[in-house]
Amino acid sequence: MIDKKSIAVLPFVNMSNNIENEYFCDGLTEEIINALAKIKDLSVTSRTSSFYFKNKTVTAKEIRERLNVATFIEGSVRASKNKIRITVQMIDTGNDLHFWSETFDRNPDNVFQIQDEVSLFIAEKLREHIGHLEIEDKLVEPINVPVAIYREYLKGRYYIMKLDVKNSIKGINILKDVIKKEPNFIQPYLDINLSYTYMGTLGLLPADEAFQNAQPFFQKAIELNPNSSRVQLNLSWIECWHNWNLEKAYEHANKALEIQPSDDIYLTISNYLTVEGKLDSAHNFLDKALQLDPFSAMNHHYKGFLLYLQEKYNDALPYLQKALELNTDLVFPPLYIGECLLFTGKQEEAVTYYNNLKGIPVTDLTQLGGLALCYAKMNDYKKCEEKVIELETYLESKNIDKAFNFLILVNVLLGNYDKAIDLVEQAFENHLPLILLLNTEPIIKPIKNNKRFKSIMLKAIPDNVNYKQKKKYKQALLDTNEIKKYSKELEQIMIDYKLYLNPDLSLKDLASYLELPANYVSQLLNLGFQKNFSEYVNTFRVNEFKERVLQKENKGLTIMAVAYDSGFNSKTVFNTFFKKIEGITPNAYLKSNS
Per-residue pLDDT tens, the chain, 594 aa: give them. Answer: 788 889 999 999 999 877 778 888 998 899 899 889 888 888 899 988 999 999 898 999 999 999 999 999 999 999 887 888 999 999 999 888 888 888 988 888 888 888 888 888 888 888 888 777 788 888 877 788 888 898 899 999 989 888 778 899 999 999 999 999 999 999 999 999 989 887 876 667 776 788 889 899 999 999 999 988 889 998 998 888 888 888 899 999 999 988 888 888 999 999 999 998 888 889 989 998 998 899 988 999 999 999 999 999 999 999 999 999 988 878 889 999 999 999 999 999 999 999 998 766 666 789 999 999 999 999 999 999 999 999 999 998 878 888 999 999 999 999 999 999 999 999 999 888 889 889 899 999 999 888 899 899 888 887 665 665 444 434 446 778 888 888 988 988 888 778 888 887 888 878 878 878 877 888 888 888 888 888 899 999 999 999 888 888 788 888 988 898 898 888 888 888 898 888 899 998 888 887
Q: What is the pTM of this model?
A: 0.72
Specify which residues 13 forms β-bridges with.
76
Name the nearest CA neighbour of 264 among 235, 239, 300, 289.
Answer: 289
CA atoms within 13 A on the CB side of 226: 2
Class of domain 6-130: alpha beta
Give the helix/strand (H/E) hosting 103.
strand 97-106
DSSP for 34-102, please give it: HHHHTSTT-EE--HHHHHTTTT----HHHHHHHH--SEEEEEEEEE-SS-EEEEEEEEETTTTEEEEEE
Helix 19-37 vs helix 147-160: crossing angle, to nearest 10: 90
Cα 548 to Cα 245: distance, rounded to the nearest angstrom: 43
Q: What CATH number labels 480-592?
A: 1.10.10.60
pLDDT for 472 = 42
Q: What digits encode the pLDDT tens for the residues 61-91?
A: 999 999 999 999 999 999 887 888 999 999 9
Contacts of 219 (CB under 8 A, 6+ apart): none
Measured in degrees and rounded to the nearest 5, phi and psi for residue 72 equal: -145, 155
Q: What digits encode the pLDDT tens for the residues 353-385?
A: 999 987 666 667 899 999 999 999 999 999 999
Chain-wide mean pLDDT for the chain?
87
Q: Does domain 244-460 have CATH number 1.25.40.10?
A: yes
pLDDT for 474 = 44
Contacts of 91 (CB under 8 A, 6+ apart): 60, 63, 71, 72, 73, 74, 97, 98, 99
Cα 247 to Cα 244: distance, rounded to the nearest angstrom: 9
Helix 111-130 vs helix 19-37: crossing angle, to nearest 10: 50
Specify which residues 44 forms β-bridges with.
7
Q: How far is CA 159 from the centre of its chain?
A: 23
The DSSP output letter for 106 is E
Cα 298 to Cα 319: distance, rounded to the nearest angstrom: 10
